[in-house]
Structure 1
Amino acid sequence: MSTKLREELLWRFAKTDDPEIDARQQRILEVLLSANPQMKQRLVDEGRLEGRLDEGRAALRRVLAHRQIPLASEDEARIEACGDLATLERWLGQALTALSAVQALR
């Protein structure tokens, strides 16, 4: 794709407060996604993973809060930055018996 075409697409799909333009952009995206089911599935899969990561982070925080284990700002940042579901699940299991955030997040 040429730089000029890319710039034009970005311009045409810029964020807008105009509901008519927003609706037109949505229709265009729907057509493009229906023409490319693999990309649509990829986006769905990415959305599901993000949802599971968000749920994992929230569950971990709930368990730690319920167990009255305080989180330092570095611990919060580490939890928020974690993009690996297996790590979040491991931390959640460790949080069930940990005596500190350090033990839970090792």
Structure 2
Amino acid sequence: MSTTTSEELLWRFARTGDPEIDARQERILEVLLSANPRMKQRLVDEGRLEGRLDEARATLRRVLAHRQLALTSDDEARIDACADLATLERWHDQALTASSVPQALT
């Protein structure tokens, strides 16, 4: 798809604030996704992963707070930026016994 075509599609499907137009756009998207089950599944899988990442970040923060290990803004940013579930799970496990945040986030 050319850049021009891609940009036009993005422009045409931008939210308008008009409920009628937005509903039409959503219907078109539903039709396109039903015609392409692989893309629909990919989007579902990406949503599930993002949900698992969000939950892992929240759980890690709860453990650190419960252990009274205060996060700096840099620590918060590092946790938010982490998009690897295995890393977040490792940090969680380390946070259970770490004596400091840097020790937990190694």
After superposition, residues 1-106 of structure 1 pair within 5 angstroms as: 1-106=1-106
Identity, % of aligned positions: 80
Bigger drift between 9-18 and 81-90 goes to: 9-18
**3-state SS of 1:30 partner:** helix
- TM-score where L is the length of structure 2: 0.96
Two-structure CA RMSD over aligned residues (Å): 0.9
Q: Secondary structure at the match of 1:90?
A: helix
- Aligned residue pairs total 106
Unaligned runs of 5+ in 1: none
Letter in structure 1 aligned against 2:104: A
Q: TM-score, normalised by structure 1?
A: 0.96
SS across alignment from 1:77: helix
Question: Which letter does structure 1 place at the counterpart of 2:37?
Answer: P
User: Alpha-carbon deviation of 1:26?
Assistant: 0.4
Tell me the CA shift for residue 11 of structure 1: 1.7
- Structure 2 gap ranges (5+): none
